[in-house]
Chains A and B, each alone.
Chain A
Amino acid sequence: MNQVYLYILVAMLTIYLIRMLPLTLIRKEIKNPFIKSFLYYVPYVTLAVMTFPAILSATGNSISAWAGFIAGVIIAYVDGNLFKVSLGACAVVFIVNLFV
């Protein structure tokens, strides 16, 4: 099963190159307004896309998942602290799952 490590090595090199090349090849501030703006908006789109609707199937129950999602949005809106939002959403899911 030592082949497993070879497989891991191949995957590691591939993934590392994908992550490393932009960071080492794009060393200057991009001046092109379109590309600059595009890269500025990337995190908002990507993270929003990854969150929803995936969160709805994360807790084994759609009611607690919705509760966790809404709680997360509200806490993030009111406070915005990473830890509070994350833990708050978990707590709400835990509590709601006790009842459903």
Chain B
Amino acid sequence: MEKTILQESKYQKRKANKTNFIQGLKAGIPIGMGYFAVSFTLGITARNAGLTPWQAMVMSMALHASAGQFAAINVIAASAGFLEMAVTSFIVNLRYLLLSSSLSQKISSKTPFFHRFLMAFYVTDEIFGVSAARPGYVNPCFVYGAAIVAGPSWEIGTFLGASVGNILPISVANAMNVALYGMFLAIIIPPAKKDKFIAGIVVLSMFASYLFTVIPGINQISSGFQIIILTVLIAGAAALIRPVSDNSNEDPINQESNPEV
């Protein structure tokens, strides 16, 4: 009797993992489109810095970080020291510390270490975004689904950019460049529609971000740090003004249907 219940729950878990994986694949398509467009430019920059297409692609496979990779290419081109590479990478990618911390509260506390280690490879802005938009806890299989589609687009796009340049017509490339922003909007607008407070946060964040690009002095701060400063200030203020109640983040029904692996 106990065995059947165990088998039953194992079966349900596997089914939920499969569903989440497929939903992840779907979420990965628009991300992959956007990545493809951006990674060409990255590949071209890598080639101009003297990297071979393979090196450019290996870098994309290892880092999955656009601003971080442009910075890394600069360090390589300047033949700077390894310490400088570590420091630059740390500064340019520091925002992932915030994103990962936020994601840590979106996964079940029972999530085993190997999933945490594996998911950490794919905490990109975009995959984090679609994960944050999931109702309830994020099933690691969702992240893997998105990563399997989006990752190779990034890597192959870099390779192509570094070997043959931009194969996309400029009109198509320009259009595809908004794919990732469109995706971000699809993540933040629907919750803003339901919750006026979140709508206020979104509008304020965009306005403040605009101000940061025009105010002399402040606009000299790197975009990575601007993101960190604005996030700490605005999310911090929001947390003071309206702390979330205990279960506002978790939907019990969805938790049931997204059990851990």
Contacts and interface: CB of A to CB of B under 8 A. Distances in A.
A14 to B, nearest CB: 4
Given A45-B231, A51-B206, A86-B182, A20 B187 contact: no
Contacts of B27: 82
B136 interface: no
B148 interface: no
A23 B178 contact: no
Interface stretch (B10-18, B150-158, B189-197): B189-197
B210 A7 contact: no
Interface in B45-73: 50-52, 55, 58-59, 62-63, 65, 68, 72
Given A15-B96, A28-B109, A29-B109, A93 B178 contact: yes
Which among B62, B128, B185 has the highest number of chain A CB atoms within 10 Å? B185
Given A15-B93, A24-B113, A43 B210 contact: no
Interchain residue pairs A-B with the least CB separation, the first 6 = A89-B182, A76-B189, A37-B239, A86-B30, A48-B205, A20-B120
Interface of B: 26-27, 29-30, 33-34, 50-52, 55, 58-59, 62-63, 65, 68, 72, 75-76, 82, 85-86, 89-90, 93-105, 107, 109, 111, 113, 116-117, 119-121, 123, 125, 128-130, 132-133, 170-172, 174-193, 198, 201-202, 205-206, 208-210, 213, 223, 226-227, 230-231, 234-236, 238-240, 242-244, 248-249
